[in-house]
Structure 1
């Protein structure tokens, strides 16, 4: 029996916990519905207030009409007494008595109705203020919930951000490496084309006999002969410009 009792308690505890989780997960939905229910009840209270105010207005109109009748009977009584007709005055007073009793009863009822109307107005006003504040708080809670959901989503996505970021950086480095290799190949190609163009030009100049090989034996020998030739030519030019002077014989 004790085991069954504990199992029953466990089931009630699980049911309560599960129910609480459902309530917490749908707290805003439940709160919205509670606000709608409160608003509905508040509208009903306004309708009841309208009815009570209408009843008070009708009761006041009825009392005003009765007050006019009471005043009229009072004048009749005064007129009968002035003429000394007490019997007529008593008869009119008999008609006046129930009217005054009804007036007193209606006056008491109207006073109670007016107090109820005042209390209901105050209650409705307080409820409207509370409902307005509650709606404002719900809007704030809803906005906070939206922000928190976004934060949770961002946090969940950021779990794999490290690996994804590393993969992205690796991809970027590979792209940069390929671009660098392509740039190097283009530069080498341009350099090769330039060298190939110079070699072709040198070949053409050599074939035309316009390009001399500075490293051949003949070229080197000619380079050494050239200064000697220049010195010999210089001496000859000086001899031409300045002929030898023959001394004259004096007697």
Structure 2
């Protein structure tokens, strides 16, 4: 029984871990890419160090060979002059230098092999990283499309609106704006129509029917009448 419970808990933990990884796959990929970039940088630095050490050994070897050649020339001259004692000392130095040269050659052989391995490794890592980078860009684009289509294939979060909802809101807004424009147009048309009062006033001013409003000419005539005739 205990074993069954432990196995069940392990299974649920694994499922939860997978769900978490799926939910944050892009963030997880970004961090893994950063880690991979650091690994590639370390490999490049190791290659640079190995190359620099190989160049140092090459310079040492070249200098040692030059010293050997010079000592051999001088030793031969000493032997020709009967100075075997000097030639003996030169021979001892040449032997030591040849030992150094052999050691430098062995070191260069080792460095050359390591450099070749590192170069292949760096090329391989760089190619894989570039492929991952392309894949990440594609994955981000696909994720953007998936988020844009959310609501058709899967339910969107309760706090996030969908394109369909935005389109419906826009349609309602346009309908309201259309109704307002129609009402304003109708109101302008009503305002443009001549009112009955203004028509009556126009007709009265033209001499058809009694005046609608008191007129200055009528008031002046009344005042003249009160004053006793025309002034």
TM range (shorter): 0.5 to 0.7
Residues 1:19 and 2:31 aligned together = no
Q: Tell me, in whole angstroms, the C-alpha distance in 1 between the residues paired with 2:63 and 2:93.
A: 15
Residues 1:63 and 2:61 aligned together = yes
Structure 1: unaligned runs, 5 residues or longer: 183-251
- Scaled by the length of structure 1, the TM-score of the pair is 0.60
Residues 1:6 and 2:7 aligned together = no
Q: Tell me, in whole angstroms, the C-alpha distance in 2 between the residues paired with 1:16 and 1:42.
A: 31
Residues 1:28 and 2:21 aligned together = no
2:150 aligned counterpart, secondary structure: helix
Seen in structure 2, the aligned counterparts of structure 1 residues 26 and 67 have a Cα distance that, compared at 3 Å, is: same
Alpha-carbon offset, residue 159 of structure 1: 9.1
Contact 2:148 2:163 in 1 (8 A): no
Q: Tell me, in whole angstroms, the C-alpha distance in 1 between the residues paired with 2:163 and 2:82.
A: 108
Alpha-carbon offset, residue 132 of structure 1: 1.0
Alpha-carbon offset, residue 153 of structure 1: 2.9
Task: Detail structure 1 runs of 4+ shifted over 4 Å in the superposition.
Answer: 154-161
In the alignment, what sits opposite 1:104?
102
Structure 2: unaligned runs, 5 residues or longer: 156-161, 187-231
Q: Which protein is richer in helix relative to its size? A: 1
1:152 aligned counterpart, secondary structure: coil
- Scaled by the length of structure 2, the TM-score of the pair is 0.65
Q: Tell me, in whole angstroms, the C-alpha distance in 2 between the residues paired with 1:125 and 1:138.
A: 20
Contact 2:71 2:94 in 1 (8 A): yes
- 1:15-72 per-position Cα deviation (integer Å, ceiling 9, x unaligned): 0110111011111111111111010111112122222222122222222221111111
In the alignment, what sits opposite 2:219?
none
Residues 1:130 and 2:122 aligned together = no
In the alignment, what sits opposite 2:220?
none
Q: Tell me, in whole angstroms, the C-alpha distance in 1 between the residues paired with 2:31 and 2:13.
A: 23
In the alignment, what sits opposite 2:191?
none
Q: Tell me, in whole angstroms, the C-alpha distance in 2 between the residues paired with 1:151 and 1:88.
A: 92
Seen in structure 2, the aligned counterparts of structure 1 residues 158 and 89 have a Cα distance that, compared at 3 Å, is: closer
Larger radius of gyration: 1
Seen in structure 2, the aligned counterparts of structure 1 residues 127 and 19 have a Cα distance that, compared at 3 Å, is: same
Larger mean CA deviation between 109-118 and 98-107 belongs to: 109-118
Q: Tell me, in whole angstroms, the C-alpha distance in 2 between the residues paired with 1:158 and 1:53.
A: 57
Alignment of 1:1-251 (within 5 A): 3-155=1-153, 156=155
Alpha-carbon offset, residue 6 of structure 1: 0.5
In the alignment, what sits opposite 1:212?
none
Alpha-carbon offset, residue 158 of structure 1: 8.7
